[in-house]
Amino acid sequence: MHPLLRTLLATSVWVPALAAAPPNFATDVYPVLMRANCTGCHNDNGVASATRLRFPEEKPTPEVLTPFGNSLAIFVDRNAPQKSPLLLKPTGAMPHAGGKRIEPGTPDEAALKAWVDYLATAPPESLITTKPADIYKSVGPIVRRLTHSQYNNTIRDLLNDQSRVADQFPPEDYVNGFRNQYLAQNTSPLLAEAYAAAAEKLARKAFLGGDSQHLIPCAPKSFSDAACRDRFLNTFGRRAFRRPLQPNELARYQKLFTAEATEAKQFLAGAQVVLEVMLQSPNFLMRTENGLDPQQRPYEIAGKLSYFLWNSMPDDTLLNAAASGELNTAPGLERQTRRLLQSPKAKEAVDEFLTEWLRFDRLQGTVRDRRLYSMFTPELTLAMTEETRRLAAHLIWSKGNFMEFFSAPYTFVNADLAKLYKLTEPKEEYGRVTLPSETERAGVLSQASFLTMTSKPAETSPTSRGLFIREQFLCQDVPQPPPGVNANLPPVTREKPMTQRERLGVHLSNPSCASCHTLIDPIGLAFEKFDAIGGYRPKMKLTIFPGRAERNTEAKNVELEIDTKGHVAGLPNAEFTTPRELGMILADSPACQQCVAKQLFRYMAGRHEGRPDKLIIGRAFEDFKKSGFQFTELMVSLTKWSTYPPQKVN
């Protein structure tokens, strides 16, 4: 053996592959990284989104993968390739928040080594790549169904009807954290039947006892008064469809109206049947954004504005603004946006966003072990959500810094919550009270709404608390656990009582679990001094009730010391021990600040953001930041930039 080769082998120096054709990243290496699920964290919304490594969007083409593979050269040490983070982190040889993803000695590791070898030895100029251009263009026509809350509000404003018939419709699913995401807005046969029944009921009620709601803008001279008929059809049709009727539509409704009115010899009979049919029309139940007809574009913008800012139909002023061309300019759009924000309807719309973003639905029907939480009642859960709403509303409508939502050293409580928090009862219902520092409370993270919805019936769930913060407040998607993994924690027994930190140690000792749980459990464990309904406990109090075989045994009460050290992997200087400290970290974190903008965009657009939306969200965030994080300014900015993208605005 050549002496030089013997020396190289003895010192374990990296031996580059012999000159050969370089590996094909798209076919040889990218599948390895996919199998390792590196994309689960290293994406725009992943828990590793703050790092330099971000994978392309789903199903990238070879034209995208080739420059991406070359860009990984920044993670390769050309002088010592065997020390490259690109190799050592996935194989667990270097500290990695995601844990070991590729087993050493496997063909997958060999493929990754070959790519590192190529990147380390290839001439730097050959690795110069042009990053695939982000093409900021419209996502194309989108058809969105009215959500149940939008249906109720539209019927209220269209017919002056407060019956909220949509509350009886089949329930809507949460997708991407909201109930208004258009990809999940299918119309099932059951929902179609509900629409038909509701339309018949509402039409009959609208003209019960005459035109009591003043829907007909004229006094008909007879049941066949064509002039009054057409005036009604055009006026009501424009409001119901949020745009003027087309000539063919008008002709169809004229025929329907006349046939029914003539047969019944009543003008109102014709109006009633038209109303019933219109309420079942896709033009009422659906709305289009980015349609292909430029003449309809202003009315689509009007609908987009009103359903975002009011969660209801446009008023006549907004429809007139569409007709006059005012919405065809960014300044005109902003004027109407600010006008809509002055209405009480805007407060209701923002409340709907908060209700969905913060998942208040999880508190509905929540149960607790009454032996442990005797003061837990349905009334208390209503108070929990009201407290959170009051804090958000205070910051939003007084034009305060919305990031105080996470760090505010005050809150708004009633007598029940004051008792739970051990605070002095306010003089008025939901009065503002200061949170003493010794309570360790501040902002939404210490409120009972968050602490309760992320707990189990008899105990807290640090995993759920950490996951909620990652997903809702940092906009990070945590990968799903591998199939077949046992997620059950060791039981607490009389012989071996354990804290949640000790029980969750099982997750960290299992490599298949640790890669994700190291990202979420250390966050939730810092909340362990707050029980399953948000009450403070300096020590963990366990009550171990006897099992079936221990009927004559008394319950055992145990107190355990609680370690509340926590951290948020991926955020700088993110160590904390209390919700108050974490709230301050999030309030100052660009990741959390940007997430607020991103969540509002998802709600407004009815979809997850894509590559074309990055510039829009980025500009809106900059406006949000410049305003001192005023939430209403974020709403104004998102409507402006999403309607008139930055490169198109003068």
**pLDDT tens digit string along 600-625?**
999 999 998 887 899 999 999 999 99
578 pLDDT higher than 90: yes
Is residue 17 within 8 Å of 117, Cβ to Cβ? yes
Q: Do both 401 and 549 map to the same domain?
A: yes
9 occurs within a structural domain:
no
5 occurs within a structural domain:
no
Q: Do both 632 and 541 map to the same domain?
A: no
Q: Do both 110 and 187 map to the same domain?
A: no
Name which of 599, 602, 606, 640 is nearest 143 in CA terms. Answer: 606
Q: Do both 156 and 122 map to the same domain?
A: no
373 occurs within a structural domain:
no
The pLDDT, as a whole number, for residue 16 is 42
What is the rounded average pLDDT of the residues 361-373?
A: 91
Is residue 389 within 8 Å of 353, Cβ to Cβ? no
10 pLDDT higher than 50: no
544 occurs within a structural domain:
yes
Could you give the CA distance from residue 571 to residue 47 in angstroms, rounded to a whole number? 10
363 occurs within a structural domain:
no
Contacts made by residues 111-114, CB under 8 angstroms, sequence distance 24+: 111/23, 111/28, 111/29, 111/32, 112/29, 112/32, 112/33, 112/86, 112/87, 113/87, 114/17, 114/23, 114/28, 114/29
pLDDT tens for each residue of 93-138 = 887 766 778 888 888 888 888 888 888 888 876 776 544 444 344 5
Could you give the CA distance from residue 486 to residue 632 in angstroms, rounded to a whole number? 45
Q: Do both 450 and 309 map to the same domain?
A: no
Residues present in the chain in total: 650
Q: Do both 348 and 207 map to the same domain?
A: yes
The pLDDT, as a whole number, for residue 8 is 32
For 457, other C-beta atoms within 10 Å of its C-beta total: 13
Could you give the CA distance from residue 321 to residue 98 in angstroms, rounded to a whole number? 52
Domain boundary among 104, 127, 150: 127
7 occurs within a structural domain:
no
The pLDDT, as a whole number, for residue 44 is 73
2 occurs within a structural domain:
no
Name which of 543, 541, 456 is nearest 493 in CA terms. Answer: 543
* 434 or 117, which is more confident: 434
At 368, list the tokens. 């607790």
649 pLDDT higher than 50: no
What is the rounded average pLDDT of the residues 221-234?
A: 96
Domain boundary among 95, 127, 159: 127
Domain boundary among 127, 160, 191: 127
262 pLDDT higher than 80: yes
Q: Do both 607 and 547 map to the same domain?
A: no
What is the rounded average pLDDT of the residues 403-428?
A: 96
Could you give the CA distance from residue 430 to residue 523 in angstroms, rounded to a whole number? 29
Could you give the CA distance from residue 109 to residue 197 in angstroms, rounded to a whole number? 61
Q: Do both 566 and 598 map to the same domain?
A: no
327 pLDDT higher than 50: yes
Name which of 112, 113, 114 is nearest 32 in CA terms. Answer: 112
The pLDDT, as a whole number, for residue 541 is 84
pTM of this prediction?
0.84
622 occurs within a structural domain:
yes
Q: Do both 191 and 299 map to the same domain?
A: yes
What is the rounded average pLDDT of the residues 172-182?
A: 92
Only one residue has tokens 């008025």, namely 428
Collapsing DSSP to helix, strand or coil, 613 comes out as: helix
Q: Do both 168 and 117 map to the same domain?
A: no
Q: Do both 638 and 550 map to the same domain?
A: no
Q: Please state the domain count of the chain.
A: 4
Name which of 393, 392, 391, 370 is nearest 380 in CA terms. Answer: 370
492 pLDDT higher than 70: yes
Which amino acid is residue 331, in one-letter code?
P
552 pLDDT higher than 70: no
- Residue ranges making up the domain that contains 322: 142-353
Q: Do both 478 and 615 map to the same domain?
A: no
